[in-house]
Amino acid sequence: MSTRREILALASGAALTAAVHPEPVFADGRDDGWVGTWAAAPTTVPPGTPLVLADQTVRQVAHISVGGDQVRLRLTNEFGDTPLRIGAVRVAIRAGAGASTDARPGTDRRVTFGGRAAVTVPAGAPLVSDPVSLPVPAGGDLLISIHLPERTPVTTLAAFAFQENAVAAGDVTGDRRIRPTATVTQYLFLSGVSVRGGGGTVVTLGDSITNGANTRTNANHRWPDHLAARFREARIPLGVANVGVSGNRLLHDPNPPAGSPAEAFAAYFAQSALRRFDRDVTAQPGATHLVVLLGVNDLGHPGTVAPLDETVGADDLIWGHRQLIARARQAGLRAYGATVLPFKGDTLGFYSPENERKRSALNQWIRSSGEYDGVIDFDAAVRDASDPQRLAAAYDSGDHLHPNDAGMAAMAAAVPLRLFRRP
């Protein structure tokens, strides 16, 4: 049987060291200075009966990286096959921390979409709100409350939020304090927050290690959260849009073997990075930089939660990374490659001497080829000095593949900030 940790297991990792090409570019004022300050990559749901909401409000917490004087939301029905009816949406600054869903008095605002407060999101589409005048503090939390007036199967979500979000009866979008009837650790129908202000957006594209597994819920200890905090401390005006997805692969979509336990959860792993790149990366407002940490699931999934005939070589992974580089540059982004973390002895069945050879070859290419605009050596930051094929014990969450909270902090601390400073 697969445990929850195994389901979350689909990671990648590495530590951050070098730079090849200094003098990064910054936002040039396109789209009137809007930048991404928070993101959650949407996925579909496994076969079976989805969560169904009816005349209920979902109140969700978004931890903001960079602040601004106005805010916009991006809702998503991109995996729905029927229109999504939205009765009302409101946004407020959160009061408190942790699991709190209380709004700060005086900050609640109505959100409209083309002037409409009630709106229908077409099947397969996102919806971007009108600007909302609300000063958003860097490093603060927003509450996004969405009322679903009709019977609504949840078909589009980010499956692993590492944040408790609340469900309450009726339309309580404008209430300062709500009475939850349920709690979900997912983001439902919400994929982005942007603000007017800041110098650009760093998009972090990855798997469960970037998504935040296995960090403490409600703590915002994902390595992109720590990186955003470093930006704020260093007065680097960049937002961070985290589009890591647990279980994500560079080259393949989820493909659980028929009859395997993975059929119950593999859909949460999202389309391949190559397939979702335009939606999750280049569509981010004000995107200027890309950080890529991908490859471990491509190595570990075949024979565990994917067919053996999807086994890849290091040359296949390098080819996929080259595609990401080409597409990033076509979109005007600087692309930084992060080395894949070690996973010897993992509890998920990913490790083998052959997979280690492939990981080593991929990391050597990332470090030495010069094809990325810069290198972030996560591997060097979190590996065991006495056995470099393993995570250091101080950074191991327990499955020998995912870093713990301290490991996430070590990863962010190893990022060379010169990659992101103005020339």
SS3 230: helix
- Structural fold of domain 4-27+199-420: Rossmann fold (3.40.50)
Model pLDDT, residue 422:
74
Checking DSSP bridges between strand 238-242 and strand 200-206, what pairing results, if any?
parallel
Q: What are 403's two structure tokens? A: 């870093």
Ramachandran region of residue 167, left (φ > 0), alpha (ψ -120 to 50) or beta?
A: beta
Q: How far apart are CA 373 and CA 329, in angstroms?
A: 10
Residue 149's Cβ-count burial label (10 Å; 0-12, 13-18, 19+) is middle
Cα–Cα dist 414/132, whole Å: 36
Pairwise CA distance, residues 361 & 119, whole Å: 50
CB 76 within 8 A of CB 190: yes
CA 280 from centroid of its chain's CA atoms = 9
By the 8 A CB rule, do 293 and 225 touch? Answer: no
Global pTM?
0.92
Q: Say which residue the tokens 């250091």 belong to.
A: 392
Mean pLDDT per 10-residue section of the chain, whose length is 423 residues:
37 32 37 89 94 98 97 98 98 94 97 98 98 97 98 97 98 97 98 95 98 97 98 97 98 96 97 98 98 98 97 98 98 98 98 98 98 98 98 98 98 98 75
Burial 25-55 (b: 16+ CB within 10 A, else e): ebbeeeeebbbbbbbbbbbbbbeeeeeebee
CA atoms within 13 A of residue 398's CA, in its CB half-sphere? 7
Q: What angle do CA 2, 4, 10 make, to 5 degrees?
A: 85
Ordered by start, the domain boundaries in the chain are: 4-27+199-420, 51-188
CA distance 257 to 17: 38
Q: Are 36 and 399 in contact (CB under 8 A)?
A: no
- Only one residue has tokens 């028929």, namely 258
Amino acid at 117: A
pLDDT value at residue 27: 40
Q: What was the pLDDT predicted at 15?
A: 31
Nearest to 137 by CA among 216, 217, 38, 221: 38
